[in-house]
């Protein structure tokens, strides 16, 4: 089980916002130039700042998620997944459960007040990196695709969360915008789930943006399309719990060899 807790760079204040005329810059990728849209654009669609005021702090949201992890840890312990002396490979193929907790500070699990027993037990019984250095720019899509491809942004072509591609004459906006499902944005590199499928390993992805896209002629075996937590989604924690339990069942039964789950509430709530 691998957890990636991405760094949370400090967010710009209103006084730091560039003007509309200053909100673009150009980045040269291996394929062609793409125009970056710097974050915090005032033109973000369907964004309701008032909704943030009704949400609980990110640490509380993470605490709820940690309870899901604690249940997961106990289940994994029962399966013997923590054994360091032998390899549990099912039908001979190693299996991977990857959970991305967006917006989780690297030091949240170490804060006594946070109450995160699930994270701590995973670290105690597994391996934990002392730190992770994000690529530039240290925003979501560039770093997510670096994790999945092993390439820098200049090679996998995700140079920002919002981009304009003059070669194709279109814009990329973060999911769930339809532009996030256009294949040419993703085709510059091959993500992990596509590599797995090419090798005959079945993959299931939950709310991981990009899984809905046919990349280099392939899709994952199962994809639950990204759903923006900023919209009305009161059952996000219950749905995530169900996804975690389903992931374990899929891996146990060898129906899947790779399962990836994306969890956004911590990032949304700050």
- Planar angle of CA 212, 217, 218, nearest 5 degrees: 50
Active-site hit among 140, 157, 188, 203: 140
203 counts as catalytic = no
Question: Residues 231, 258: contact at Cβ < 8 Å?
Answer: no
Measuring CA to CA, which residue among 7, 3, 5 is closest to residue 138?
7
Backbone phi and psi for residue 131, each to the nearest 5 degrees, phi listed first = -165, 165
Which residues are known to be catalytic?
Answer: 140
């Amino acid at each position: 089980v691998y957890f990636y807790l991405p760094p949370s760079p400090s967010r710009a204040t209103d006084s730091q916002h560039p003007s509309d005329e200053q909100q673009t810059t150009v980045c040269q990728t291996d394929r062609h130039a793409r125009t970056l849209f710097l974050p915090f654009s005032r033109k973000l669609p369907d964004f309701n700042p008032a909704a943030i005021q009704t949400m609980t702090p990110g640490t509380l949201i993470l605490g709820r998620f940690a309870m899901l992890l604690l249940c997961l840890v106990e289940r994994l312990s029962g399966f013997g997944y923590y054994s360091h002396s032998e390899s549990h490979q099912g039908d001979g193929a190693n299996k991977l459960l990857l959970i991305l907790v967006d917006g989780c500070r690297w030091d949240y699990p170490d804060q006594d007040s946070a109450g995160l027993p699930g994270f701590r037990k995973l670290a105690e019984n597994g391996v934990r990196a002392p730190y992770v250095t994000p690529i530039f720019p240290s925003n979501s899509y560039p770093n997510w695709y670096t994790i999945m491809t092993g390439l820098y942004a200049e090679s996998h072509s995700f140079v920002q969360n919002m981009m304009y591609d003059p070669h194709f004459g279109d814009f990329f906006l973060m999911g769930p915008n339809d532009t996030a499902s256009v294949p040419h944005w993703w085709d510059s590199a091959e993500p992990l789930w596509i590599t797995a499928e090419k090798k005959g390993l079945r993959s299931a992805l939950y709310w991981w943006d990009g899984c809905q896209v046919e990349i280099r002629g392939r899709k994952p075996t199962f994809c639950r399309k990204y759903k923006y937590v900023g919209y009305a989604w009161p059952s996000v924690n219950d749905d995530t719990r169900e996804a975690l339990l389903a992931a374990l069942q899929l891996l146990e039964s060898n129906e899947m060899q790779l399962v990836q789950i994306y969890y956004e509430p911590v990032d949304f709530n700050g």
